[in-house]
Amino acid sequence: MGEARPPGFQDTSIPCNPLAGAPIFFTPSVPFALNINIRNMELLIRPATEADLEELRELEQGLIRDERPFDPTIRPDPVHYYDLPALIHDPESLLLVGVSDGRIVSTGYASKRTPRPYLDHDVYAYFGFMYTRPEYRGRGLNGRIIQELRQWARERGLEEVRLTVYTGNAPAIRAYEKAGFAPHIVEMRLPGRG
């Protein structure tokens, strides 16, 4: 589709079931690229690379800006949630980007994690940096990235998947519920400041 491929990409795509009449291609091992058409928008989903860092940092700041109203404990700027270069290179993580018209419009990562020792699973996948630019929301991009992260997790035997979301972020909660997530636990806080 004319999109740049990540370094080392080999086009070993195989056709899958079509989505709304659009052919879908995926590569069975990372690195991969997935070209889809969502609501008349061409989208390339691929692993993030070092070349994406500037845009990823911009999107991270968008996520922080969106979450500030839900969390008065986020420190003043400058603040970062993620060590993005480490996520890109971590063999136990996958950071995906959704690219449209040469611009990253959506992100999400999965990381293999160890749970608290009393839980009934030894490992799980944690999803984070689930962000879509505001002008691209409502098109199902987040759901497609979740699908691909879920597939990555399954291939690694990570059946349990978790993520966190602020209780006041109703649009995000609806998007995650639409993707199959269910509320599980609520973290409470007793504010230490006036």
Q: Say if pTM beats, i.e. exceeds, 0.95.
A: no
**Per-residue model confidence as pLDDT tens digits over 139-179:** 999 999 999 999 999 999 999 999 999 999 999 999 999 99
The full set of domains in the chain, from first to last, is 48-178 (3.40.630.30)
With residue 144 as reference, give the H or E element that holds it. helix 141-155
Distance CA 89, CA 106 (A): 19
**Per-residue model confidence as pLDDT tens digits over 175-192:** 999 999 999 999 999 988
CB 8 within 8 A of CB 31: yes
Residue 190 region by backbone torsions, left for phi larger than 0, else alpha for psi between -120 and 50, else beta: beta
Distance CA 8, CA 47 (A): 11
With residue 179 as reference, give the H or E element that holds it. none
